[in-house]
Every structure is written in structure tokens, then in C-alpha cells.
Amino acid sequence: MFTQNSVTIDTENEQDLGVLYYFCSGGASLKNTYQKLNEHLDLQQIDSTSFSVSKILQE
């Protein structure tokens, strides 16, 4: 849900909460309310790693 100053990440159904753990290692989850920053980002704190996905089909 978006508001003027925040975004809340959650699932509609409680049984779907596991999908929010997929992107975090160590047991963390994306589920939370995040506040909008009204200042420039500190570019030294941003991870510049590029990621790609490879899929291999097996018969």
C-alpha cells in the first residue's frame, strides 16, 4: 500500500508470507513499512552489483 510518505509491503493472504522471505538471506523478510526519504541518496551506500538470471532446461 502506498501513502504520500511510505509504502507497506505485505501479502493479502497470511499463507503467502513465505514469498517475502525469498529475496532476503538469513531469515529476513521484505514485509515492513518503509518511509519515503526527502533527500538525495548516498551513492556510496548503493550496491552497484549487476545481477542476471540463467535458466537451464533439462529433459
- Domain limits, the chain: 6-37
Backbone angles phi, psi at 38, to 5 degrees: -110, 30
Q: What is the pLDDT of residues 18-39, one digit of tens each?
A: 888 877 777 888 899 999 988 9
Other C-beta atoms closer than 10 Å to the C-beta of 20 total 16
**Are the beta carbons of 36 and 30 closer than 8 angstroms?**
no
Say what the pLDDT of residue 21 is: 85
- This model's pTM is above 0.75: no
Q: What percent of the chain has pLDDT over 90?
A: 37
